[in-house]
Amino acid sequence: DAMVIQNPRYQVTQFGKPVTLSCSQTLNHNVMYWYQQKSSQAPKLLFHYYDKDFNNEADTPDNFQSRRPNTSFCFLDIRSPGLGDAAMYLCATSRGGIAGLVAKNIQYFGAGTRLSVL
Amino acid sequence: DAKTTQPNSMESNEEEPVHLPCNHSTISGTDYIHWYRQLPSQGPEYVIHGLTSNVNNRMASLAIAEDRKSSTLILHRATLRDAAVYYCILRDVAPAGNMLTFGGGTRLMVKP
């Protein structure tokens, strides 16, 4: 059974038209992450939520926003998609914990949403 | 996270063992060594992790050098389903250790 579910698997949007990608989890993990993966590249972390605390990576463009209304759901909003934002977007979850323990925590990934921008 | 170095690609024959190397010469004493793999058109999935001792699970084994400056992921019998990109990642114990910083990874090709 899928534990991290991303919808839709494929999303097409128009240049400049806002788009929202969704992620849900059945693991009750308190940390949720969004990664961007461009073609033939490794995943790159955009931001993560630790419970309700939002943590943005320093080089994540302002065009990318996120919402986490409850433990189970997290959304990625792209306010004005450009052609360069076409990528696979991956959601992941993990348990949080105190320093010294989190380094062992496994991340569980969804299958991703492939975004095309026309 | 400290950096890792992996070969870009490796080839294996089906049902033969595969040894995937990873160098991490700047590893700190508290860094955990994690391996994830990404099958085509899928999200990454956890494979194994360790700190100092060798580790075994149902998917693979992890052999860690005594000085911890390198490690090797061992798939005991490669199958076609093991064709994937394998990522070796170091995670430290600071709060930022929640993150996974992916490097280039090794693309494993399995021949029938």
How much is the pLDDT for A105? 80
A90–chain B nearest CA distance, Å: 7
pLDDT tier, A3 (very low <50, low <70, confident <90, very high otherwise): very high
How much is the pLDDT for B95? 56
Range list of β-strands (E), A8-117 = 10-13, 19-25, 31-37, 44-50, 53-56, 64-67, 73-78, 87-94, 108-109, 113-117
pLDDT tens by residue, chain B, 112 residues? 568 999 999 999 999 999 999 999 999 888 889 999 999 989 999 999 999 999 999 999 999 999 999 999 999 999 999 999 999 998 876 555 467 888 889 999 999 9
Using the Cβ of A44 and the Cβ atoms of chain B, whether some distance falls under 8 Å is answered with: yes
Using the Cβ of A87 and the Cβ atoms of chain B, whether some distance falls under 8 Å is answered with: no
CA-closest candidate to residue A76, choices A55, A91, A57: A91
**Cβ distance of B44 and A109 shorter than 8 Å:** yes
What are residue A53's DSSP bridge partners? A50
Peptide bond into B21 cis (omega under 30): no
CA angle B84, B11, B17 (to 5 degrees): 85
B41–chain A nearest CA distance, Å: 7
How much is the pLDDT for A98? 63
Could you read off the pLDDT of A76-101 as tens digits, one per residue? Answer: 999 999 999 999 999 999 887 765 56
